[in-house]
Amino acid sequence: MDSKKRSSTEAEGSKERGLVHIWQAGSFPITPERLPGWGGKTVLQAALGVKHGVLLTEDGEVYSFGTLPWRSGPVEICPSSPILENALVGQYVVTVATGSFHSGAVTDNGVAYMWGENSAGQCAVANQQYVPEPNPVSIADSEASPLLAVRILQLACGEEHTLALSISREIWAWGTGCQLGLITTAFPVTKPQKVEHLAGRVVLQVACGAFHSLALVQCLPSQDLKPVPERCNQCSQLLITMTDKEDHVIISDSHCCPLGVTLTESQAENHASTALSPSTETLDRQEEVFENTLVANDQSVATELNAVSAQITSSDAMSSQQNVMGTTEISSARNIPSYPDTQAVNEYLRKLSDHSVREDSEHGEKPMPSQVPAQFYKIKVCLELNCMGFSLETLK
């Protein structure tokens, strides 16, 4: 029994599909009633304006009903039953739309048709108050070469404007008012123009109120959206602050980190190395040189000149090694405030010179070509000490 009841209910429901019921305010009954004069054709879509409506049947035909002041005949201004739009016969319409006082339809090949009131250019016809029958709208992309006809998927109509969604998911607009979303102040716009504000976005649907518009846009991929941190990575302070006042709230994003830019690991190592005294290695080398000098000063004055020459040669090697280190290390050594004992150096130079003169006078010999006078060593050492920060006046 239950199965029989269910099948009979489904059969009755199938007969009821696509039927049109209307109801109105005022003196009309508020109970939904069948549309007067409508036959048995199945309706797939309906759209309503202020005083008129449009029906789309399953075979792709379009019917209009209600008050139709744009129609030419006096009888057709307010027909008693829906009338067929003959201009669309032979075309298979897939969707319809209505504004306050105008209508639109889109065929299966992507062509948009408009008719009705056109005082604001909402039917994309210039210098004509009414468009009595469906008129094809020419939409072409001027950026393409050669010009390509734009195929339309959907229409949305307001009171004085119309929006069209193309197959490439772009919006085209015409009519009057800022609700068009166009970069222009010259109205009416009777030639469809692309809404550039949404260029590059995927528009899924458009909708119109009387004097406003809406576009449903696909969200950007999640990987393209970068999360905004709440706190600074360096000082952990809030990047966006809110301050409550008596009658308003101040929201500020003008965060200035007191720690500045964080150093990378390599920069931190270089910073730590430069934070040390730049003359530490130079001082160690100078200590080594003058320790050798003081040891030589403690030795017997009778040490042979060859030993002194070897010691000076060692000093020359140290000097050449310091020259290889570069001018940066030498210039930093000049700024060292601590120097070896100047008196000890002068004493060593004096003894060295006296020893050389006394040795020459005892043996009555002149210096051999392979031997170098002691004055040369004094000048040599003075030059080295001058490079380490001593002035010649200090050594005199």
**Short-list 81, 82, 126, 120, CA closest to 101:** 120
Residues 6+ apart with CB under 8 A from 188: 120, 121, 122, 174, 175, 176
Which residues on adjacent β-strands are paired with residue 189?
Answer: 175
What is the distance between the alpha carbons of residues 300 and 396, in angstroms, rounded to a whole number?
24
d(CA 178, CA 207) in angstroms, rounded, equals 15
Q: How far apart are CA 309 and CA 288, in angstroms?
A: 17
Whole-number average pLDDT of the chain: 75
| pLDDT-derived band at 241, boundaries 50, 70, 90 | confident
The two tokens of residue 347 are 């004493």
- Give dist(CA 89, CA 86) in Å, integer: 5
Residues composing the chain? 396
For the entire predicted model, the pTM comes to 0.55
CA distance 129 to 109: 28
Span 208-233, average pLDDT? 82
Give exposure, 74-103, as e/b (b: 16+ Cβ within 10 Å): eeeeebeebbebebbeebebbbbbbbbbbb
Contacts of 294 (CB under 8 A, 6+ apart): 344, 348
pLDDT at 386: 55
CB 145 within 8 A of CB 136: no
Does the pLDDT of residue 303 top 70, yes or no? no
Q: Picking from 89-93, 158-162, 202-206, 341-345, which range would have the lowest pLDDT averaged per residue?
A: 341-345
Other beta carbons within 10 Å of 303? 13
CATH of domain 15-220+379-384: 2.130.10.30
Measure the CA–CA gap between 225 and 228, rounded to whole angstroms. 9
Q: Comparing 109 with 386, which gets the higher pLDDT?
A: 109
In 202-304, alpha helices (H): 265-275, 280-298
* Range among 107-111, 225-229, 310-314 with highest mean pLDDT value: 107-111
Q: Which residue has the tokens 């209508």?
A: 103
Whether 188 contacts 120, CB under 8 Å: yes
CA dist list (Å): 201 to 168, 204, 357: 10, 10, 98
269 sits in which H/E element: helix 265-275
Domain ranges of the chain: 15-220+379-384
117 and 66 in contact (C-beta within 8 Å)? no
